[in-house]
Structure 1
Amino acid sequence: MSLQTGFGFGLAKRLREREAEGLRRNLSPIESVAATSRIAEDPKGEKPTFGDEQTIFAANNYLGLAGDERVARAAADAARTVGAGAGASRLVVGDTPAHRSLERALAERKDTERALAFSSGYAANVGTLTALSPDVIFSDELNHASIIDGARLSDADVEVYDHCDASALADAMAEREREVTPGESWLVVTDSVFSMDGDVAPLADICDIAEQYGAWVMADEAHATGVYEGGMVGELGLEDRVQVQLGTLSKALGAQGGFIAGSETLIEWILNAARSFVFSTGLAPPAASAAERALELAPEQRADLWANVERLRDGLESVGYEVYGETHILPVLVGEREDAIALDERLREAGIVAPAIRPPTVPEGTSRIRVAPQATHTEQDIEHCLAAFEAAGEEVGLL
């Protein structure tokens, strides 16, 4: 039996099937992480050849800090003085002043006793959920994949409630209480800002319900960190009611990594029990220092971001598009998968990169273009985007 047929797991066949379903993805190098950049014309080539400059509305670099010179200098200084990498697990000899300084700054911003940095937001979610290992996890149906995976690995019973529906959460808790022996540990986990719909979880209502049943609340602030002071939890004044705050350093802060914030006891337990922390090399010191500098710079970037969000939302709606959400993420509803793909292609031809999001990522009939403005987009960039959407929409037959 050949290696290909005996141990290939049918990967070639599975790839062909994925491609036939329109679900296969490829890596496409980008020249720089910025509001405008060039994308490789031949993604599979050994040395990328970049095409014309395009305006990027596909990144989570909301505050435009990934390319900020001040953030880059902080990273370079840390690389010179501390090292390019941590060199070991934080629990061995990989715990550096850069980590400690970042964690103090995060705890201060999140108004918690302490914070702990992970190598990624994904690692933070999976590590935290498995370390907490509650008996039951109540999870919003549109939570991020890292929450879903962490919940599965935790061995908890997972109760999925309707998206952003506090009443559905209350019903699920009431039903669980009727069916089981008292004394279970319960955890409610939700994104605070949802990346595909641009909406916000009803965190205050969730806290009310959780407190009624003695449950903890964990909020994933990946898309809120930096954009709101203290994240959405801080924006709503819920720091004392959300026991576990999680965030990323790789979106609005433009660096790399993830973190959790909470009580001293929580952090001590997680750093001892979260396998994705214990058995991983520590976050690279340059990423830690870059994130801390970005955290300092975030407030001065927000006004430009929100001005761009308002211009884009108003402009898109004025030409006839329906725009979901209430945050800095602008999902433009298209409907059918084919129309979203066609609109995506026309926009790229016009020099606008904004991805089509389609099933299974979103429900059937709700395919969309996800528009993510950045603080560093100029007025000309915004006008270019709006003109491209209007022309492409007319060409595809959506307007």
Structure 2
Amino acid sequence: MADRGFDLEDRLETLEETDLKRALSPVDRVAERGYFGEPSGGDLPVLETAEALVFASNNYLGLTDDQRVQDAARQAAATVGTGAGASRLVTGDTMVHRDLERLLAEVKGTERALAFSSGYAANVGTIAALEPDVVFSDELNHASIIDGCRLADAETAVYDHCDAASLRSQLEERARTATRDGRDPADESWLIVTDSVFSMDGTVAPLEAICDAAESFGAWVMVDEAHATGLYANGGGVVQAEGLEDRVQIQMGTLSKALASQGGYVAGSAALIECLVNDARSFVFSTGLAPPAAAAASEALHVARHSGAREQLWENVAHLRDGLESMGFEVLGESQILPVLVGDRTDTIDLAEGIRERDVVAPAIRPPTVPEGTSRIRVAPMATHDEDDIITCLEAFSAAGEEVGLL
């Protein structure tokens, strides 16, 4: 009988040959430094003896081991329970969820917010629930946005990265095509979706120009603030920094990065949230966000708003960017994410390994995650890194860069 299964060994061999096979490497704690284990497959890992500095995490404010955030999670677990136990529509809706959503709506300047079990679920569920006829999507948008467009069965027009003129051109072309085909463009629902901060390039979307283009054609705007929430004005994102709350219909974000927890959220009008509660399958058919995660995110949002963590992060970002550029490295973007462009895949991997040998963790990002010829090291400082940590990171880049022949 024919084997109608899957040749997994061949797949793994191909990944090995193309230098794309990755492995899990556990760490003892999620913080600015930790002890890492060698990749061990399914075996119990053994942690290395040397402590490493972590410049590879999205834990931007360093709040995962903040006592206040941990205490909030413990209190919620003791008072409410460790898990929601069911979908929010059944019995999994708690006061902890409602408190988080109230705070998120306040920060984002919207009528309401809704917490999802993950950022991925928030994007996929929202786009699919809206069922747009056409989505206009930045070419470097996150995979969850792309998958949301697929699930919505929407026609997708991709515009050039962070290019509002390209977006406007796509909008104009769609309007012309509809008219030429005898359809009224006004009968279609149009959704423009963009990340605000792009995770692999560190670029920031030109949101005001995107809103201008959207309003010219009556389209709605959805902004993914996953890598911005908590880091800008009053603990908000780029939408708040630019004062665009009234022009962006849908604000999405995550709780798992600067807010040191797990989950995602969508903020917008009361009508939007009611529709998502009823129509977003990733919300309706998922167990509610664990109460300790919701409470941790609430406390982290409070800390982000009312402490000096944000200011310290941006100081560290400036110090690290200046140091890397002064060595001769090209650093992309204009956010807290500092991609050090190398170009050649092999050089990038060698540089990352050289940095790791000096007990600093900063990953090599290579195709297909980024375009061919643009391999890079993704550097992400935290607010909890001190000056000595930044200097150690710079020294590792300097020594490894000379070793690889890049400096």
TM-score by length of 1: 0.98
* Candidates 289, 304, 309, aligned match of 2:317: 309
Residue 73 of structure 1 corresponds to which residue in structure 2?
71
One-letter identity of the residue aligned with 2:175: E
Give 1:20-169 correspondences, 5 Å limit: 20-44=17-41, 46-51=43-48, 52-169=50-167
One-letter identity of the residue aligned with 1:231: G
Q: State the shift of 1:28 in Å.
A: 1.1
One-letter identity of the residue aligned with 1:220: D
Instruction: Please state whether the residue corresponding to 2:288 is helix, strand or coil.
Output: coil
Closer, same or farther: CA 170–345 of 1 in aligned 2, 3 Å: same
Q: 2: distance between equivalents of 1:29 and 1:146?
A: 25
Residue 9 of structure 2 corresponds to which residue in structure 1?
12
Q: State the shift of 1:43 in Å.
A: 2.8
Q: State the shift of 1:188 in Å.
A: 0.1
Residue 250 of structure 1 corresponds to which residue in structure 2?
256
Q: 2: distance between equivalents of 1:358 and 1:31?
A: 26
Residue 388 of structure 1 corresponds to which residue in structure 2?
396
Q: 1: distance between equivalents of 2:313 and 2:40?
A: 31
* 1:225 equivalent in alignment to 2:223: no
Q: State the shift of 1:42 in Å.
A: 4.5
* 1:291 equivalent in alignment to 2:297: yes
* 1:202 equivalent in alignment to 2:206: yes
Q: 1: distance between equivalents of 2:63 and 2:71?
A: 12
Query: Is the contact made by 1:249 and 1:291 (CA closer than 8 Å) also made in structure 2?
Result: yes
Query: Is the contact made by 1:42 and 1:49 (CA closer than 8 Å) also made in structure 2?
Result: no
- Structure 1: segments with no counterpart, 5+ residues: none
Q: State the shift of 1:110 in Å.
A: 0.2
* 1:239 equivalent in alignment to 2:245: yes
Q: Which moved more, 1:375-384 or 1:20-29?
A: 20-29
Query: Is the contact made by 1:91 and 1:278 (CA closer than 8 Å) also made in structure 2?
Result: yes
Query: Is the contact made by 2:23 and 2:39 (CA closer than 8 Å) also made in structure 1?
Result: no
Instruction: Please state whether the residue corresponding to 1:333 is helix, strand or coil.
Output: strand
* Candidates 328, 335, 345, aligned match of 1:327: 335
Query: Is the contact made by 1:340 and 1:356 (CA closer than 8 Å) also made in structure 2?
Result: yes
Residue 360 of structure 2 corresponds to which residue in structure 1?
352
Instruction: Please state whether the residue corresponding to 2:3 is helix, strand or coil.
Output: helix
One-letter identity of the residue aligned with 1:14: R
Q: Which moved more, 1:226-235 or 1:260-269?
A: 226-235
Q: State the shift of 1:44 in Å.
A: 2.7
Q: 1: distance between equivalents of 2:332 and 2:40?
A: 32
Q: 2: distance between equivalents of 1:155 and 1:392?
A: 47
Q: 1: distance between equivalents of 2:154 and 2:7?
A: 32
Q: 1: distance between equivalents of 2:26 and 2:363?
A: 15
Q: Which moved more, 1:301-310 or 1:123-132?
A: 301-310
Q: 2: distance between equivalents of 1:382 and 1:354?
A: 13
TM-score by length of 2: 0.96
Identity, % of aligned positions: 66
* Candidates 275, 280, 283, aligned match of 1:277: 283
- Pairs aligned (count): 396
* Candidates 381, 390, 405, aligned match of 1:397: 405
Q: 1: distance between equivalents of 2:208 and 2:263?
A: 27
Q: 2: distance between equivalents of 1:46 and 1:325?
A: 39
- Structure 2: segments with no counterpart, 5+ residues: none
Q: Which moved more, 1:184-193 or 1:21-30?
A: 21-30
Q: Please, what is the CA RMSD of the aligned residues?
A: 0.9
Residue 375 of structure 1 corresponds to which residue in structure 2?
383
Q: 2: distance between equivalents of 1:87 and 1:245?
A: 27
1:324-372 alpha-carbon deviations (Å, 9 max, x no partner): 1111100001011001000000000000100001111111111100000
Query: Is the contact made by 1:29 and 1:43 (CA closer than 8 Å) also made in structure 2?
Result: no
Deviating above 4 A after TM superposition, structure 1's stretches of 4 or more consecutive aligned residues are none
Q: 2: distance between equivalents of 1:225 and 1:206?
A: 19
Residue 326 of structure 2 corresponds to which residue in structure 1?
318
Query: Is the contact made by 1:164 and 1:202 (CA closer than 8 Å) also made in structure 2?
Result: yes
One-letter identity of the residue aligned with 2:164: A
Instruction: Please state whether the residue corresponding to 1:128 is helix, strand or coil.
Output: helix
Q: State the shift of 1:158 in Å.
A: 0.3
Residue 267 of structure 1 corresponds to which residue in structure 2?
273
* Candidates 369, 383, 401, aligned match of 1:361: 369
Instruction: Please state whether the residue corresponding to 1:6 is helix, strand or coil.
Output: coil
Instruction: Please state whether the residue corresponding to 2:378 is helix, strand or coil.
Output: strand
Query: Is the contact made by 1:116 and 1:267 (CA closer than 8 Å) also made in structure 2?
Result: yes
Q: 2: distance between equivalents of 1:346 and 1:38?
A: 18
